[in-house]
Amino acid sequence: SLEKRIQELEVRQQQYPEVTFLTYKDRKRILVTGGAGFVGSHLVDRLMLEGHEVIVADNFFTGRKRNIEHWIGHENFELINHDIVNPLYIEVDEIYHLASPASPSHYMYNPVKTIKVNTMGTINMLGLARRVRARLLFASTSEVYGDPEVHPQKETYFGNVNPFGPRSCYDESKRVAEATCYAYAKQEGISIRIARIFNTYGPRMHMNDGRVVSNFILQALQNEPITVYGHGKQTRSFQYVSDLVDGLISLMNSNYSMPMNLGNPDEYTIEQFAFKIKDLVGSNAPVVYKDPVVDDPKQRRPDITLAKFWLNWEPKVLINDGLKKTIAYFRNELLVKHHSERN
């Protein structure tokens, strides 16, 4: 009954004061591709808490049921085990299209598949958007700027991407996906949103995805050498996942249809970052220097002027706070792993 729903909303609003809850008429049917992954599962949490109907399509390549299992059985939630390289016929109002491996080790593991996901998969999601007249938000990446010669990176920078190297399967297919979104918008009148996401971290990152945040934290926690690739003077700027989720939802609901950077401009050299994590963990692990990575971007920091202006958005979580939460998450993951290995 309506009265019961309003009561439920009030209770939830008290539990989660930062979330704006919906009345029935604002509720949408929302597809999240890649919703069992790191970013996708946090987005699903927020959309579910807001009271939407959420459908996750995921093939569990890098995602895990564990990330969303708390919603399984909820009347507003549906999980489809589906590879988006194949067509998908469902009825939705909005599509957050996140399905794609994201960490270099994952996207290089099967480069052909990475290209298929971002090209054929994106065409399928745009075809779906076209049939049901849904708005589609595409999770693009700062990698479209390649090894940038312009710093910080503005959306108007065309990038410096090697079309042939080991990262090209990801960088170039994300660029094609942006071009495809643009083509569908122009030719078919599809409403699109393009988020160029910069390095994001937080709980539910994969243990073994080889990214710098997970590697350094796990190494520091286990007192193993902290592996800096190359001289460590390359830079990255790290955004906490809840800030990204805020940005994605604001962008989807905005009137801005050109590419938009979503990231935290807080920039560190990788060497500085190694010592920062070591300190926060309170670890005795040594910092060691390994071979450099091919085509590793030398610097990366978002210019977020557009997002500030159009979305009134900027990251809120300070690096030390975000890292502490992430360290706590990995500490617990290690305990769980240790426990299950003993049994």
Q: Which is nearer to ligand UDP, 156 or 272 (CB)?
A: 272
Query: How many Cβ atoms sit within 10 Å of the Cβ of residue 25?
Result: 5
Structure tokens given for 104:
């270099």
Residue 17 one-letter amino acid? P
212 near ligand UDP, rule: CB under 6 A: yes
Residue with tokens 């290089």: 108
Q: Which does 84 bind (CB under 5 to 8 A by kind): ligand NAD, ligand UDP, none?
A: ligand NAD
Cis preceding linkage at 259, omega within 30: no
Query: 193 to 252, contacts with ligand NAD by CB under 6 A?
Result: 197, 199-200
| CB closer to ligand UDP, 67 vs 122 | 122
Contact indicator for 76, 53 with CB cutoff of 8 Å: yes
Residue 100 and residue 118 in contact, taking contact as beta carbons nearer than 8 Å: yes
Q: Considering the complex, what minimum distance in angstroms separates the CB of residue 243 from ligand UDP?
A: 17
Partner whose binding site includes residue 56, from ligand UDP, ligand NAD, none (CB under 5 to 8 Å by kind): none
Q: Least separation, in Å, of the C-beta of 314 and ligand UDP? A: 21
CA distance 196 to 142: 5
**Which residues within the stretch 65-94 sit at the binding site for ligand UDP (CB under 6 A)?**
87-89
Query: For residues 284 and 224, what is the distance between their CA atoms, to the nearest angstrom?
Result: 9
Catalytic, out of 170, 184, 201, 240 = 170
* Region from 30-38, 225-233, 269-277, 296-304 binding ligand NAD, contact rule CB under 6 A: 30-38
> Is there a catalytic annotation at residue 170?
yes
- Secondary structure string (H, E, C) spanning 205-270: CCCCCCCHHHHHHHHHHCCCCEEEECCCCCEEECEEHHHHHHHHHHHHCCCCCCCEEECCCCEEEH
Buried b (16+ CB within 10 A) or exposed e, 54-87: bbbbbbebbbeeebbeebeeeeebbbeebbbbee
Residues 6+ apart with CB under 8 A from 25: none
Q: Contact with ligand UDP (CB under 6 A): which of 153, 215, 237, 326?
A: 215
Q: Per CB under 6 A, does 217 bind ligand UDP?
A: no
**Residue 285, interface with ligand UDP (CB under 6 A)?**
no
- 211 lines the binding site for ligand UDP (CB under 6 A): yes
Partnered with residue 115 across adjacent β-strands are: none
Q: Nearer Cβ to ligand NAD, position 251 or 285? A: 251
114-173: contacts with ligand NAD (CB under 6 A)? 117, 121, 139, 141
State the minimum distance, in angstroms, from the CB of residue 274 to ligand NAD: 18
**Residues of this chain that bind ligand UDP (CB under 6 A):** 87-89, 103-104, 123-124, 127-128, 130-131, 199, 211-212, 215, 227-229, 234, 236, 270, 293, 296
**Residues of this chain that bind ligand NAD (CB under 6 A):** 33-34, 36-40, 57-63, 83-85, 98-102, 117, 121, 139, 141, 197, 199-200
Catalytic residues: 170
